[in-house]
Amino acid sequence: MQNATYQNYVMSDVLEQIEKDCERYCAVPRIPPQKVTIIGAGSDVGRIAALFLKQQRVVKKLALYDDESDKCVLGVATDLAHIDTSTEIRAYHGREHLGDALKDSDVVLICGGQFTMPPCCCTSDRELFFKNMERVRVASIASARFCPYAVLAVQTPPVDCNFALCMHTLKIAGVYDKRRLLGLNAINSMRANQLFCSLTGTDPSTSQMPVVCGTGRCTRVPVFSKGKAGNFPQTQVDCLTKLVREADEIICKVKCNEEQGHLSIGFSTARFVTSIMQGLFEKTTFIDSALVEQAHPKKCYDMPICATPVSIGKGGIVEYAVPTLNEAETKLLEESKYAHSLVNW
C-alpha cells in the first residue's frame, strides 16, 4: 500500500484499497440493506405477506423466491412492482437463484408449502411435515451459507416441527443463534386478541393477547388472564380457548373451497416480519407470541422450546417476556406440554 499523510488520507488510494478489502472479507454488510426475503412467495400466504411488506418503509428491498413453476413468482413480483411505494422488488425462480435471493438478507421468511387440515396429533400431521420438510431444510441450509446472520422466521406448517428441523439444521451448519430463529405464532395470538376484544368491546389495537406453549391445535394456550376485563367468567374463557384452537377448521368449513384463512394468516405474517425489521433497525419492538428456544427454560414452565412473547432489538431477541398463568391456564398448559414435546425431539 502507498504511504498516506494525515491530510490526504481520506482521498488516498489507501482508503480505496481498505474499502475493497472490507467488501471482500467482511462477513456482515457494513451498511444493512434492510432486505427481507420470502421463500415460498408464490404461495397464497407468501403473496399476501409480500403485498403488505411492500407498503412498509422499514423494508427497502423485498426479494421473492419460489422454486415451483406453477406459482409464477415472476408474475407476482411484476404485479407488486406497480405499487407506488419505495420498496424495491426482486423476483427469483429456481434453486440456482436461491443464493442470490438470500444474499445480504436481514430477515428470511420461510412460508408456503402444503396446507391441509390434519386432526390433532395424528398421522396426517406427520404426513404434512414430510411433505414440507424438504422445503424448510433447503431454505435453512441456503440461509446458513448465504446469510448466516439473518433472522429466520418459520411459517411453513406444521410450525412446531419445521422450527425444530430448522434449528437442528442451523446447528449442524455451525451458525445457530437462538436469538435469530423464530417460529410464527402470530395468527393464533391475533385471533385470540380479536375474539377477546369482540366479546369485551375493547379496541384490539390497544391490547395484546399472548398464546403460549406451541402453535398446533392441541398445544395453543391463550392467556386471556392478561386481558383487562373485570369479572370475565371462566365459561367464556373456555369457549374462547376452544374457538382459538379450532379456528382453522371453522374457516375451512365456511370457505367454499375448503381452504385455510390465507388472508388473516398472510396479514399476521407480514405484521410479524415488520415487527422484526422495526426492532432490528428502528427501536425495540414487542411480539406477543413467537415460538423460540428459551434462554432460561426453568422460567418458562420448564420448556426449552416454547411460544411466548419476545422483544426484538439489535441482533434479534433481546428479552423473553414469559407471562404468568392462572390456575386454569396452568392446567391447560400441563395437558398441552406432552403433545408439544413430541414434535421437538
pLDDT in tens, the chain (345 residues): 444 444 444 556 766 777 677 666 665 555 678 999 999 999 999 999 999 999 999 999 999 999 987 778 999 999 999 999 999 999 999 999 999 999 999 999 999 888 765 444 444 667 888 889 999 999 999 999 999 999 999 999 999 999 999 999 999 999 999 999 999 999 999 999 999 999 888 899 888 899 999 998 889 999 999 887 656 788 888 999 999 998 888 887 777 665 678 899 999 999 999 999 999 999 999 999 999 999 999 999 999 999 999 999 999 999 999 999 999 999 999 988 877 666 555
> What DSSP string runs through 228-293?
--TT--HHHHHHHHHHHHTHHHHHHHHSTT----HHHHHHHHHHHHHHHHHHHHTS-EEEEEEEEE
pLDDT value for 32: 76
pLDDT value for 21: 72
Q: Coil, helix or strand for 213?
A: strand
Cell of 145: 451459507
User: Which amino acid type is present at position 181?
Assistant: L
Total residues belonging to the chain:
345
Give the span between the Cα atoms of 322 and 221, in whole angstroms: 13
Which residue, chain included where needed, has cell 369457549? 239
Beta bridge partners of 305: 293
Q: Which sign, positive or negative, has the C-alpha torsion 114, 93, 135, 101?
A: negative
Q: Which tens digit of pLDDT belongs to each residue from 136-174?
A: 999 999 999 999 999 999 999 999 999 999 999 999 999
Question: What is each CA distance from 220 to 125, 192, 332, in whole angstroms?
Answer: 16, 10, 9
Q: Which sign, positive or negative, has the C-alpha torsion 160, 258, 119, 328?
A: positive
The values of phi and psi at residue 319, to 5°, are -155, 140
- Number of helices (H), then strands (E), belonging to the chain: the values are 11, 11
Whole-model pTM: value is: 0.87
Three state DSSP letters for 109-135: EECCCCCCCCCCCCHHHHHHHHHHHHH
Q: Which tens digit of pLDDT belongs to each residue from 3-19?
A: 444 444 455 676 677 76
pLDDT value for 123: 43
Indicate the DSSP class of residue 155: -
Contact 303, 213 (CB under 8 A): yes
